[in-house]
Amino acid sequence: MTFFAFLGALSLSVLTFELMSVFQSAFSTFGGNRLMNMQSPNPTRRRSTWEALLIALWPGRFDPDQAKNMADVISLLRRAGYPYDTPGEFYAVAIRDFSIFLGVGGLLAGALAAMNVITIAPVVAAIFIFLGLRRPYVRLKTLAKKRAESLRNNMLIGLSVLSALLSSGVGVQEALRRASSVGGPFCNLLGLLVARMEVEDFAKAVEVTRAHLPDPADVEANLFLRDIYDFFANNRPILSSVMGLQESEKVFHMLTRVACIRMQLDFLMIVAENRIWE
């Protein structure tokens, strides 16, 4: 009982401090640095006491400078198309999501404990804590999956434009630059490839572009990047490879459309049979 009283008093003091800080920054004309915006175009947002406590208690999970999974987070940000500008912004969203799930789980656990269901209360709280920790990463993986589907749909357009440009005698690098102006996930990757090739060697540019693929196991995209590398490294003709990938994408989209039509026909047959039996 003493522990819960101490925890309640600590929470009340933190809440009072945060409210006083908000009122001071909103209404007080003293204590602010008028040169702050001149010194930094993007001033750092002040962390709340709760965020500071989470970072202090769990730096390996919420502190961008000490996070153990920073490499995985950067890889997910690349694959998802950078929905957050920096890893620090991602960890700030992770703290917010964890706080929401922790609050909801705490309220549900408290309600269960008040109803004398004490054995289930810790399980409910643990489930919400786990969900709060995993939600930001699941969101990034979902965005990466949607981007992979969009890239596959955009790949046929990009390859068609690239094939037409190469067939008309345009150089490979210039054809890549023009195809990137079409827009879409795949064409944006072409733009990234061209931009990297202008500042570093082609091998490094291909590796960086491959790291930004939403699906590292995408066979067609990896084959395309390998053909680009072989062209610049071994002077291997690329037009035939691009046309082959273009035909492969046409077959893929045709099979996908046939599968969708078949599912629709099966659904209509089921509906018709149900109406007949009625």
Q: Is the pLDDT of residue 77 over 90?
A: yes
Whether 97 and 132 have beta carbons less than 8 Å apart is answered as yes
Residue 122 CA: distances (Å) to CA of 105, 114, 127, 181: 9, 13, 9, 54
Kindly state whether residue 223 falls inside one of the protein's structural domains.
Answer: yes
Percentages helix, strand, coil for the chain (3-state, rounded to 5) are: 80, 0, 20
Is the four-CA dihedral 163, 169, 175, 179 of positive or negative sign?
A: negative
Indicate whether 36 pLDDT > 50.
no
Confidence band for 213, pLDDT divided at 50, 70 and 90 = very high
By CB atoms closer than 10 A (0-12, 13-18, 19+), residue 125 is buried
Task: Tell me, yes or no, whether 55 lies in a domain.
Answer: no
The answer to whether residue 18 sits within a structural domain is no
Q: Is residue 46 part of a domain?
A: no
DSSP assignment string, 188-207:
HHHHHHHHHHTTS-HHHHHH
Structural domain contains residue 33: no
What confidence tens digit (pLDDT) does each residue in 9-22 have? Answer: 656 666 676 667 66
- What pLDDT band is residue 35 in, cutting at 50, 70 and 90? very low
> Would residue 96 count as lying in a domain?
no
Rounded to two decimals, the pTM is 0.74
Residue type, 132: G
Q: Look at residue 13 and tell me if it is in a domain.
A: no
For residues 49-72, give the mean pLDDT: 83
Six token digits for residue 237: 């003709």
Give the mean pLDDT of the chain: 81
Name residue, tokens 């690239």: 162
3-state secondary structure of 156: helix
Residue where the block lists tokens 């810790």: 122
What distance in Å separates the CA atoms of residue 267 and residue 108, rounded to the nearest whole number?
41
Count of structural domains, the chain: 1
Residue 211, domain extent: 148-277
Taking residues 42-48, what's their average pLDDT? 59
Lowest mean pLDDT among 57-66, 97-106, 248-257: 248-257
**Kind and range of the H or E run holding 41:** none
Residue 211's pLDDT is 92
